[in-house]
Amino acid sequence: MGHDKVGEEAWLEAKNVNLKTKSDKLTEQCLGPFKITEKVSDRAYQLELPSTMRIHDVFYVGLLSKVKRNELQAWENHPPPITVNGEEEYEVEGIMDSRENKGKWEYLIKWKGYGPKESTWEPKTNLKNMAKHLKKYEKILRQKSLDTAKGL
């Protein structure tokens, strides 16, 4: 990535970044994109990170990759997480599906501002601030069941 300049944006490889999250919803291959604020050396760059990340902001060049313009368009409208009781939360657009996994229910969450590929399966315990979405989803399921029964 030596050809990148201060002011451009870069993806940060996520494998060595500890985000201290209980959920996999933030566990992605790459984080960002983040603005490059300084070339510290030939092998290290400083990035402009959100204050909520609470990690050192200088990274080895091998962990950074150049942002292509078409990739950026898909990511630039992602809203930042909100903080509830000191924990980061992302806004939910809706519940897309549900399944039983090892005796516990999980829900496929569509995150507001993110594409369908970024929807994640979340256990019910992660949905404590989503009562209205759960009620709406359960109402839709009941209606589908009634419609199916009528068709028999």
Residue 17: partners with Cβ closer than 8 Å, 6 or more residues away? 31, 55
pLDDT class of 38 with cuts at 50, 70, 90: very high
| Domain boundaries along the sequence of the chain | 1-76, 79-152
**What is the reported pLDDT for 123?**
86
Instruction: Please tell us whether the domain made up of 1-76 is placed in CATH 1.10.3120.
Output: no
What sign for the dihedral angle of Cα 48, 54, 57, 61? negative
Which residue did the predictor score with more confidence, 20 or 147? 147
User: CA–CA separation, 26 vs 23, rounded Å?
Assistant: 7
Instruction: Give the mean model confidence (pLDDT) for residues 64-93.
Output: 63
pLDDT over 50 (residue 64):
yes
CATH number at 79-152: 2.40.50.40
Instruction: Give the mean model confidence (pLDDT) for residues 10-32.
Output: 66
Which residue did the predictor score with more confidence, 23 or 53? 53
**What is the reported pLDDT for 72?**
44
**What is the reported pLDDT for 133?**
82
